[in-house]
Amino acid sequence: MEAVTVEKHQEHKEKIRQVISEVGKVVVGQEYMVNRLLVGLFTNGHILLEGVPGLAKTLTISTLAKVLHLDFQRIQFTPDLLPADLVGTMIYNQKDAKFEVKKGPIFANIILADEINRSPAKVQSALLEAMQEKTVTIGETTFKLDKPFLVMATQNPVDQEGTYPLPEAQVDRFMMKVYVNYPTKEQEMEVMRRISNMKFDYTVNQVLTKEDIFDIREQVNRVKISESLEKYIIELVYATRKPLDYKLNDLAQYLQFGASPRASINMNLSSKAIAYMDGRDYVLPEDIKEVALDVMSHRILLNYEAEADNVKPADIVKTILTKVPINK
């Protein structure tokens, strides 16, 4: 890195540490989830969180938005939600005798799409189109969405009542799918004590500005990744498509479709972000391995035989990571 960049890097690394610390004032544990949300923020990638209710997914995202001082909107997805409730609509102004645009809650920097799989496909598609195009059309007018624009969606496991599973092509638009686990006994004890304290202070301090976020994105973009590691990413993704070419005969019987090219792109981006947040200007193989599960698992489609044998996409990715070598 250039001298000025090194100085900036240290400054940003300290601010990132402060962000995590501020969120920790309100949310107990869940450092892994916060880390992945920051990776999405610094690489302009949307994040899908999956876990049972009560694991502080909503609280974590709303707290992070406060620390970043960004415009925040929480949208509760329900079976009767309409696309217009999300993006906005045209309303008739009787005084001026003309139609006016009423913008929906999607016009914010951070969107919390809470329980996204509680709404039918038409609403999901409206959100995912905005995620992809970064624009919204209301009537005959197209509006650009504010920058940064980040969707952090939560969903309950699809085997629960009243859910509409996201189609694979739509899930693929999320940079990462992060599985949120239960807290430890010690963490749950702290959660219980905090919530039962009626005077607990939920206020946090602003740490990063929009300018800081754009600056960090530029710095992350400068992180170096060697050609051998770029090839390693491609090999990992191709192993999900053609497992027999990699002598992964045991996996071939379970794979219906492998990961899409978005897996390669997002593994490259997210590994750079991990390296930057760790204080480096170059990517290590460990950075790629660290993000592989979150980036690839939701992009692999398994068949009924895998379901019968209780094989999960994460199992496939873990096996691939142990079998595919890094060629120098």
DSSP assignments along 57-79, one per residue: HHHHHHHHHHHHT--EEEEE--T
Q: Name residue 111's beta-bridge partners.
A: 73, 151
Say if residue 117 is exposed, middle or buried (CB neighbours under 10 Å; 0-12, 13-18, 19+): buried
Residue with tokens 């997805």: 77
Angle at 292 between CA 291 and CA 293, to 5 degrees: 95
Q: Which of 226, 248, 230, 265 is nearest to 324 (CA)?
A: 248
Q: Name residue 282's beta-bridge partners.
A: 224
CB 72 within 8 A of CB 113: no
CATH 3.40.50.300 boundaries in the chain: 3-208
More confident residue, 139 or 143: 143
pLDDT at 232: 94
pLDDT at 10: 81
Cβ neighbour number for residue 8 with a 10 Å cutoff: 17
More confident residue, 165 or 115: 115
- pLDDT bin (cut points 50, 70, 90) of residue 263 is very high
More confident residue, 327 or 312: 312
- pLDDT bin (cut points 50, 70, 90) of residue 159 is low
Q: Is 250's pLDDT higher than 70?
A: yes
Mean pLDDT score of the chain: 85
Angle at 215 between CA 210 and CA 221, to 5 degrees: 130
Any idea which fold 223-323 has? Helicase, Ruva Protein; domain 3 (1.10.8)
CA terminus-to-terminus distance, the chain: 24
More confident residue, 142 or 42: 42
Q: Is 228's pLDDT higher than 70?
A: yes
pLDDT at 161: 62
Q: Which of 177, 194, 176 is nearest to 63 (CA)?
A: 194
The H or E element that residue 276 is part of is helix 261-277
Question: Region 305-312: what's the mean pLDDT?
Answer: 86
pTM equals: 0.86
Q: Is 247's pLDDT higher than 90?
A: no
Any idea which fold 3-208 has? Rossmann fold (3.40.50)
CATH 1.10.8.80 boundaries in the chain: 223-323
- What's at 29, amino acid-wise? G
